[in-house]
Amino acid sequence: MVRRVCLIGAGPSGMAALVAFNRLKERGEECEVTCFEKQEQPGGLWNLTWRTGTDEFGEPVHCSQYRDLFSNGPKECLEFPDYTFEDHFGKNIPACPPREVLLDYLQGYWKLHGVKNEDIHTRHVVRNVSFDEATQIFTVKVTNLLEKIDLEQQFDYVIVASGHFSVPHIPHFDGIEKFEGRAMHAHDFKNAREFTGKKILLVGSSYSAEDIALQLYKFGAERVTISYRTNKMDFKWPDKIHEVPLLTKIEGRTCHFKDGTSAEYDAIILCTGYQHHFPFMPSELTLPNGNIYNLPNLYRSLQWYGVTEGKKDAAGKLFYVGMQDQFYTFTMFLMQGLWVANVIKDIIQTPGREECVQDIEKMFASNADLSDYHKEIDAQTAYVLQLAAEIGYNERLDVSKIFYKWEDDKAENILTYRDQTYTSNFTGKESAVFPIPWLKCFDDSLSGYLKNCV
Amino acid sequence: MVRRVCLIGAGPSGMAALVAFNRLKERGEECEVTCFEKQEQPGGLWNLTWRTGTDEFGEPVHCSQYRDLFSNGPKECLEFPDYTFEDHFGKNIPACPPREVLLDYLQGYWKLHGVKNEDIHTRHVVRNVSFDEATQIFTVKVTNLLEKIDLEQQFDYVIVASGHFSVPHIPHFDGIEKFEGRAMHAHDFKNAREFTGKKILLVGSSYSAEDIALQLYKFGAERVTISYRTNKMDFKWPDKIHEVPLLTKIEGRTCHFKDGTSAEYDAIILCTGYQHHFPFMPSELTLPNGNIYNLPNLYRSLQWYGVTEGKKDAAGKLFYVGMQDQFYTFTMFLMQGLWVANVIKDIIQTPGREECVQDIEKMFASNADLSDYHKEIDAQTAYVLQLAAEIGYNERLDVSKIFYKWEDDKAENILTYRDQTYTSNFTGKESAVFPIPWLKCFDDSLSGYLKNCV
């Protein structure tokens, strides 16, 4: 009997799963995959929108990206072995291209593997997933947003690929409800030009704070303060950016920090991360919060066993993809998609529940060992290679050395790291050099960028 | 057998329903009512939050109100016959008090009628409602946000009171995705102080545009333009506010209008209204969009019969309350709650489906006759009085004359209409005069306001 798979989400992870199922199909190993996507087109976070809050259908806006976003990591770290950037663009391009360039590359890869937009039920939002333990069948309720009708379908497997950098984690700070400026989360940051000439406080010390600080600097903010909870990012910031300990309270426009200092701000942008949010899943099958590397309840951080309190099993038939903290992205998602597809088709076997649970617990405990960037990179490299080995995928996926160099380049000069070059594992070539340094480049369009790639 | 009622939402409409059920209970007519509310406390839109987008649980923010919001209509139009403002505050207060004062009054009314916060399942979000036609039973799936567990309960009746000024309607305008300033919906407008000294474009010509224009003026915006689709509001605006035809396109910071004029803006605030959004309801039982007075599919704009294409019946056991466009508010919600409670308890009988459907269609068609404010006020007055008559509620609910005077006062001077006085139907007294004109009053707190009410 053909296996009916429900795939929730057509972002980079969901699309990688569709590519994976197409690859199996080419080998005669077909599944019946139905993909539901809330947005108008595949691409997940890479689809930029000017909207904040809710979209035209009243559904929460997914996109957390913003205008003038350039990749904050080298393309050589996410390049597909079977489709290099040079394959796609017909020329060697620089390491850190803007959003549209990366989306275009993804679209090329999906096309290469025969994934068509028509295969995806766009503007379909999944409302409810339930699992019947007796029949081992999932029932999925979906709303077709355009036609305003509901569907209910049954599936043997469910893959949740709805992303986890989409629903903001927004803590409260004492006095923020009376802040006299603008208070917002990084999720709603759309355009650095809104903040030209302004004094901005960013709360947080991860990628959002890092990149939004740089964007604000690039677009002429008067002053950017970054408030950290535990550790400074401690880059060699330009004069207008500096770091202070945690925000403790707000009075009028004045923000007070843990070290006793205070200053006035026009806006507070909470770069406080994202939360796992699966309103369509039963709580007992819902991945708990935590932007970590080795996920609870998931064997290989993919296959669900309800290990933690209040969770149930779904007979190994439920999968989450792309839900961990990430150095690796596109290639990791591909390995995850292939691994899940291979498991569903019984091409590879996972051990029984007991062994899976032991492994989940061991891996989850090992998060504590990931005490610096190098260890995190190494752990995720090992993870990606482990998946590849289990599915017999023999390409040079290890880009840890590129990540190390990238970290070094950032430490060396946070303003110029995007202008650096890296060597592709697959073409053997060093990235091209863009003629305009990132800090001076104000055209983030695909056409404008490619024109300047010589 | 006791009738099990599920009430979705504890805003002014939902709480009015709880008051209504308590009043019936006092007469020995008890139902088992379970109320689920997403927010931390009852109050609906009247609970102000600094948050925009999603809340701490990742659920869409309900509140559309903002700091320094004062009532834009006289309290004499929403006063409860059995609990006047003077009863609550122990003194006569002015006509248009700030948000906290009205919320406090509501809380007093709920307390008077024995509705306790403990009776409401706060931080419980309804995920899914289904109706079994064979058993005529509703199944309601709910998530307890604090404990992260799901409930599933069965009910004989469902009342949807989730509000309809909470999910914004956000149209696209040509070029808005490249607007160089801030683009947002009125739903996310939280604090006029963010716009001091700024040039602001408002799109829309209803209450949001009217009131946000006034707020911006009060808090020192440099210039406010209001762009209307069909008709000007045409108040005697102060110099810094003016009206122009519809926004046609945006280039950089420049907005172009239908009359060929253009100007630069720092922010665009879309005051383009709200949409009915019931993601937890099956599409066939979902109220379609439309901020109108006489609703489709609802007998007395309350009791569901699936009249329009693609809709189904729910045996007269489904109700929506507070879903129409509104002049009347608190008292109308009370009549709606009482009417629904009386119908559920079979104290009053509604005609069979056929007659209800005819009435729904007749009333829906009559929306076309509501061509000016007076006709709208008269129609809603008649509606409220009709409900009151059907349930035998004999109080002087007709406040149409107060609404007329209010409209006249607005036409006379939009900057001072909130300082005018009206005569209470119940105390016979004219509202007190606040010593500080609205335009100069910058303290919107309950305590500050009451201190000044002498």
**Angle formed by the axes of helices A12-26 and A99-112, nearest 10°:** 20
Which of A171, A190, A279 minimises the CB distance to B127?
A279
Task: Tell me what pLDDT residue B117 has.
Answer: 87
Tokens of residue A314, six digits: 């779904």
**Angle formed by the axes of helices A12-26 and A330-344, nearest 10°:** 50
Torsional class of A6: left (φ above 0), alpha (ψ -120 to 50), beta (otherwise): beta
Contact assignment for A127 to B279 by CB distance below 8 Å: yes
How near does any CA of chain A get to the CA of B177, in Å? 5
State how far the Cα of B354 lies from the Cα of B367, in Å rounded to an integer: 21
Q: Residue A201 in contact with residue A181, Cβ under 8 Å?
A: no
State how far the Cα of A116 lies from the Cα of A107, in Å rounded to an integer: 10
- Interface with B, mutate which of A50, A146, A164 (most B CBs under 10 A): A50
Tokens of residue A134, six digits: 């007796």
Residues 356-395 (A) with a CB less than 8 A from some CB of B: none
Residue among A271, A276, A274, A291 at smallest CA distance from A205: A271
What residues contact A192, with CB distance under 8 A and at least 6 apart?
Answer: A66, A67, A68, A212, A215, A216, A218, A219, A221
Helices (H), B155-219: 207-218
Q: Give pLDDT tens digits along chain B (454 positions).
A: 789 999 999 999 999 999 999 999 999 999 999 999 999 999 999 999 999 999 999 999 999 999 999 999 999 999 999 999 999 999 999 999 999 999 999 999 999 999 998 899 999 999 999 999 999 999 999 999 999 999 999 999 999 999 999 999 999 999 999 999 999 999 999 999 999 999 999 999 999 999 999 999 999 999 999 999 999 999 999 999 999 999 999 999 999 999 999 999 999 999 999 999 999 999 999 999 989 999 999 999 999 999 999 999 999 999 999 999 999 999 999 999 999 999 999 999 999 999 999 999 999 999 999 999 999 999 999 999 999 999 999 999 999 999 999 999 999 999 999 999 999 999 999 999 999 999 999 999 999 999 999 7
User: Which residues in chain A are closer than 8 Å to B170, comparing Cβ atoms?
Assistant: 51, 53-56
Domains A4-166+274-401 and A176-270 fall in the same CATH topology: yes
Count of A-B CB contacts under 8 Å: 115
Residue among B168, B166, B197 at smallest CA distance from B183: B168
Contact assignment for B286 to A185 by CB distance below 8 Å: no
Asked whether the predicted pLDDT for residue A252 surpasses 90, the reply is yes
User: Which residues in chain B are closer than 8 Å to A250, comparing Cβ atoms?
Assistant: none
Task: Locate the domains of chain B by residue range.
Answer: 4-166+274-401, 176-270
State how far the Cα of B252 lies from the Cα of B264, in Å rounded to an integer: 9
Q: CA neighbours within 13 Å on the CB side: how many for A371?
A: 2
Residues 184-203 (B) with a CB less than 8 A from some CB of A: 184-185, 187-188, 190-191, 193-194
ipTM of the complex: 0.95
- CB contact, 8 Å: A396 with chain B? no
Task: Tell me what pLDDT residue B55 has.
Answer: 97
Residue pLDDT, tens place only, B270-303: 999 999 999 999 999 999 998 999 999 999 999 9
Residue among A155, A152, A142, A120 at smallest CA distance from A318: A155
- Interface with B, mutate which of A40, A52, A169 (most B CBs under 10 A): A52
B120-121 β-sheet, strand order: B120-121, B32-36, B4-8, B157-160, B318-320, B303-304, B298-299
State how far the Cα of B9 lies from the Cα of B336, in Å rounded to an integer: 15
State how far the Cα of B449 lies from the Cα of B454, in Å rounded to an integer: 10
Residues 296-335 (A) with a CB less than 8 A from some CB of B: 310
Asked whether the predicted pLDDT for residue A400 surpasses 90, the reply is yes
Q: Residue B269 in contact with residue B184, Cβ under 8 Å?
A: yes
- CB contact, 8 Å: A275 with chain B? yes
Helix (H, G, I), strand (E, B) or coil at B138: strand
Q: Residue A254 in contact with residue A263, Cβ under 8 Å?
A: yes
State how far the Cα of B196 lies from the Cα of B415, in Å rounded to an integer: 18
- Which residues lie across from B149 on neighbouring strands? B144
Given pLDDT bands bounded at 50, 70 and 90, which one contains residue A117?
A: confident
Task: Tell me what pLDDT residue A145 has.
Answer: 97
Task: Tell me what pLDDT residue B454 has.
Answer: 77
Residue pLDDT, tens place only, A257-278: 999 999 999 999 999 999 999 9
How near does any CA of chain B get to the CA of A240, in Å? 22
How near does any CA of chain B get to the CA of A53, in Å? 4
Mean pLDDT across A347-366 = 97
Task: Tell me what pLDDT residue B156 has.
Answer: 98
The sign of the CA dihedral A401, A402, A404, A408 is: positive
Q: CA neighbours within 13 Å on the CB side: how many for A173?
A: 29
Task: Tell me what pLDDT residue B118 has.
Answer: 87
Residue A230 amino acid letter: T
Residue among A256, A434, A178 at smallest CA distance from B194: A178
User: Which residues in chain B are closer than 8 Å to A310, comparing Cβ atoms?
Assistant: 148-149
Q: Classify residue B159 by its DSSP letter.
A: E
What residues contact A169, with CB distance under 8 A and at least 6 apart?
Answer: A272, A273, A274, A275, A289
Beta strand B254-257 pairing with B262-264: antiparallel
Q: What architecture is domain A176-270? A: 3-Layer(bba) Sandwich (3.50)
3-state SS of A382-441?
HHHHHHHHHHCCCCCCCCHHHHHHHHHHHHHCCCCHHHCCCECCCCCCECECCCCCHHHC
**Angle formed by the axes of helices A373-391 and A400-412, nearest 10°:** 160
State how far the Cα of B235 lies from the Cα of B247, in Å rounded to an integer: 20
Residue among A181, A178, A230, A176 at smallest CA distance from A204: A230
Report the b/e string of B183-204 with b at 16+ CB within 10 A.
bbbbbbbbbbbbbeebbbbbbb
How near does any CA of chain A get to the CA of B330, in Å? 26
User: Which residues in chain A are closer than 8 Å to B172, comparing Cβ atoms?
Assistant: 56
Contact assignment for A54 to B167 by CB distance below 8 Å: yes
Q: CA neighbours within 13 Å on the CB side: how many for A250?
A: 24
Tokens of residue A316, six digits: 């190994």
Nearest CA in chain A to B283: A149
Instruction: Report which secondary-structure segment, H or E, holds B120.
Output: strand B120-121
- CB contact, 8 Å: B150 with chain A? yes
- Compute how many other C-beta atoms are within 10 angstroms of the C-beta atom of residue A22: 19
State how far the Cα of B378 lies from the Cα of B192, in Å rounded to an integer: 34
- Compute how many other C-beta atoms are within 10 angstroms of the C-beta atom of residue A277: 22
Residue B21 amino acid letter: F
State how far the Cα of A268 lies from the Cα of A249, in Å rounded to an integer: 12
- CB contact, 8 Å: A59 with chain B? yes
Q: Residue B424 in contact with residue B76, Cβ under 8 Å?
A: yes
Beta strand B262-264 pairing with A124-132: unpaired
Residue among A292, A291, A283 at smallest CA distance from A311: A283
First to last CA, chain B: 53
State how far the Cα of B313 lies from the Cα of B307, in Å rounded to an integer: 8
State how far the Cα of A131 lies from the Cα of B345, in Å rounded to an integer: 37
Asked whether the predicted pLDDT for residue A293 surpasses 80, the reply is yes
- Interface with B, mutate which of A47, A54, A194, A199 (most B CBs under 10 A): A54
Residue among B394, B387, B453 at smallest CA distance from B425: B394
In terms of C-beta density within 10 A (0-12 exposed, 13-18 middle, 19 or more buried), how is residue B211 classed? middle
Task: Tell me what pLDDT residue A118 has.
Answer: 87
Tokens of residue A453, six digits: 């790639």
Between the CA atoms of B134, B140, B141 and B144, what dihedral angle is there, to the nearest 10 degrees? -160
Q: CA neighbours within 13 Å on the CB side: how many for A32?
A: 8
Contact assignment for A127 to B128 by CB distance below 8 Å: yes
How near does any CA of chain B get to the CA of A181, in Å? 5
Given pLDDT bands bounded at 50, 70 and 90, which one contains residue A1?
A: confident
The CATH number of B4-166+274-401 is 3.50.50.60
State how far the Cα of B407 lies from the Cα of B422, in Å rounded to an integer: 12
- CB contact, 8 Å: B183 with chain A? yes
Q: Say how many residues make up chain A.
A: 454
In terms of C-beta density within 10 A (0-12 exposed, 13-18 middle, 19 or more buried), how is residue A325 classed? middle
Task: Tell me what pLDDT residue A413 has.
Answer: 98
Nearest CA in chain A to B173: A50
- CB contact, 8 Å: B166 with chain A? no
